[in-house]
Amino acid sequence: MSKTPELLTASQRAAQLRMNAELGSTSRETSPVSSKKSNYQDIAKRSLMGTPPPLNAMGAMTPMDVVDGSISNLAITDIDRYEFDPRTEINPLYDEIKASIRANGILNHISVTRRPGQPRYMVYGGGNTRLRIAKELYEEGDQRFARLTVIVKVWKGDAPTIAAHLAENEQRGDISFWEKAQGVLSFKEHFEKESGKTLSTTELNRELRQASGLNFGMSMLQNFLFAVEYLAPIGPWLKISDVNLVLKPRVTQLLKLADKFNQQPIAETALQTILHKYAALLSQQSAARQLSNRTSAEEVSDRDVPALLQVEQLLEEVTIAVAAALEVIPDKLLAMAQALEANPRMAVETLTLIEATVSTSVGQSSAVPEPSIKQTPTQPPLGRMLASVPAPMSKPDSSGGAFLPVSPSVSQSVIMSGESEGFDPQPIFTVLGEFQSLIDMSDVLFKSDQPHHIFGFYLDFPAQGIGYVDGIELEPELVIYRRALWKILISLTGQLDRRFTQLIPHEADGFTIAWKQLWEQGEEQFQEGALELLGEAFDHVSLQSVSLVLRHEQLGPLVTRLLTEMERVRTRYPERQLDGFMPLFMPDVTEEIS
């Protein structure tokens, strides 16, 4: 009895197809065939040669393949908690959730995924609490949870899975600052490992947004990364307001100052020692609080349980420890830190001359009030604008052209002082400070006490190039705006007038002012230096630059405010203005400052 096609083995069916093909070829030589039959034979030949015709969409799938978003019914013992779940603490509503699941079952299906080739599933994008409760109820004998109906997601990597968990927990609003900080760092590390690409803060924000729709923002991401790097021992007790308003600003100041004195490793060790001490105390306090929740008020009273993280006390201890490392008193340390914040290029010798003031004592300066609607916002730091500047060496004569030497003025201070009588540049500096909070211009802005520097400041070329600030590379998006803003400010200061530039000092706080140096070398060297430092030709200011900044939702209004404040100065202090205009480079002008 011959076998039917259904009973043939694969090799037998292949042999049968080859035989049919040969018979078909012979029949074509002896008798005509229809074109339809010929097409079938061609298909058979192509199949035997390893190029089968396409089948349906499911034909190439194996039993281990997953259809994204498909519904499945899995044994609860085949599902595990996701090992990199950002949530590390028990959900504070755990008991309420368990009671609801016991009564109604799991109404919101858990999503699961699994790594390629692995038989076990893990929770995807939230659901670890529900899984834990279901397993507890199953172990208690509730057979309703022996199997779970789940949504199966295709595995895309650990980074996307972590992002999904972050997004789910962020949506529910029941994840702590520290858990989010660790989750963001975990996403960053896994993304860099899986992609082979190092993420900047801007890129990290973009990848999180693309992976899960999360948009923490640059400032929040910087707080997360700072907390993980420097504040890990007390991480579980951190509040975002403490990190953003108190801890990050002060600790950063102190570490920068210690680094200036080549003592940063010692300062970091002191910081970590104090943080670990506080972590031990906080752990004891947390245990006592948990005990108080399980006992009567007579056994453990509220006064027996100290308050949690005392930020001001911690900072005071850190300040004292760093001051000891630098061999200065704490008050002087804070004054030095504030001066260095104002001028990061300040020399060590200058810093050591700074004296402590009452306003910079630990008890007073470290207290940061909680923000409120009625609170007036403080001015952002102006960076290098508050650097000391050399005494003026010349001034325009009555003709507005030549310059005559004058006597040196009184010594300058690192704190803004010495303004000409009645002139108050603070409104302008306030706006510039708000620019600084968006784009770092601290390396190019300098305060000036020259009366014909009408607005009280001037700009220098970026010494390391427009894409760097103090050796730190900026994000490409920021560089574009930084260059455009620099050109706008240059055009507004008045320093495109050679008489203004002649009054710019050669040095400020020991650093050469590149603008003045290149100008004195002549137009060709000036343009070459500008091209190198700006990354493009120096074209004063273009409409494209103005348009770019004005269209920005935050920079645009600031430019308008700056123009308003500048116009007030022009109107109120006409004597500060130079008459007419003299271009930077004039072949027929040869006057030099003596």
CB 333 within 8 A of CB 322: yes
CB 311 within 8 A of CB 246: yes
Helix (H) or strand (E) holding 294: helix 264-294
CB 529 within 8 A of CB 518: yes
User: What single letter denotes the amino acid at residue 83?
Assistant: E
Residues whose CB is less than 8 angstroms from the CB of residue 320 and which lie 6 or more positions away in sequence, other chains included: 330, 362
Torsion angle of C-alpha atoms 125, 127, 128, 134, degrees rounded to 10: -150
Residue with tokens 């056994």: 299
- Residue 213 has which token pair? 């729709």
- Residue 169 has which token pair? 């927990």
Report how far residue 95's alpha carbon sits from residue 88's, in angstroms, rounded to the nearest whole number.
17
User: What single letter denotes the amino acid at residue 519?
Assistant: W
Report how far residue 465's alpha carbon sits from residue 353's, in angstroms, rounded to the nearest whole number.
31
Residues whose CB is less than 8 angstroms from the CB of residue 113 and which lie 6 or more positions away in sequence, other chains included: 66, 121, 122, 124, 152, 153, 154, 155, 161
Report how far residue 289's alpha carbon sits from residue 301's, in angstroms, rounded to the nearest whole number.
10
Report how far residue 68's alpha carbon sits from residue 154's, in angstroms, rounded to the nearest whole number.
5
CB 108 within 8 A of CB 130: yes
Residues 84-100 have pLDDT tens digits of 988 888 887 888 899 99
Residues whose CB is less than 8 angstroms from the CB of residue 545 and which lie 6 or more positions away in sequence, other chains included: 483, 484, 487, 488
* Cross-strand partners of 147: 75
Among residues 87, 163, 79, 59, which one has the least CA distance to residue 122?
79
- Residue 244 has which token pair? 């953003």
DSSP string, 341-368: HH-TT--HHHHHTPPP-GGG-HHHHT--
Residues 123-158 have pLDDT tens digits of 998 788 899 999 999 999 999 999 999 999 999 999
220-to-184, 186, 446, 519 alpha-carbon distances in Å: 11, 16, 29, 42
Cβ density class 305-344: b for 16+ within 10 Å, e for less: beebbebeebbbbbbebbbebbebebbbbbbbbbbbbbbe
Report how far residue 518's alpha carbon sits from residue 437's, in angstroms, rounded to the nearest whole number.
29
| Burial label, 49 (beta-carbon count in 10 A; 0-12, 13-18, 19+) | exposed
**Model's pTM, two decimal places?**
0.52
Residues 312-327 have pLDDT tens digits of 999 999 999 899 888 8
pLDDT in tens, the chain (594 residues): 444 444 445 555 555 655 555 555 444 444 444 444 455 556 555 545 554 544 444 444 444 556 788 899 999 999 999 999 888 888 878 888 999 999 999 988 899 999 998 899 999 987 888 999 999 999 999 999 999 999 999 999 999 999 998 988 888 766 889 999 999 999 999 999 999 999 988 889 889 988 888 888 888 898 999 999 999 999 999 998 899 889 999 999 999 999 999 999 999 999 999 999 898 888 887 776 666 555 444 443 333 434 478 899 999 999 998 998 888 999 999 989 888 887 888 888 888 888 775 443 333 333 333 323 233 333 334 444 433 333 333 333 333 333 323 323 322 332 233 344 567 888 898 889 888 878 888 889 999 989 889 999 999 999 889 988 877 888 888 888 999 999 999 988 989 999 999 999 998 866 789 999 999 999 999 998 998 899 888 876 667 778 888 888 888 889 988 998 998 888 888 888 888 889 998 765 444 433
Percent pLDDT > 70 in the chain is 72
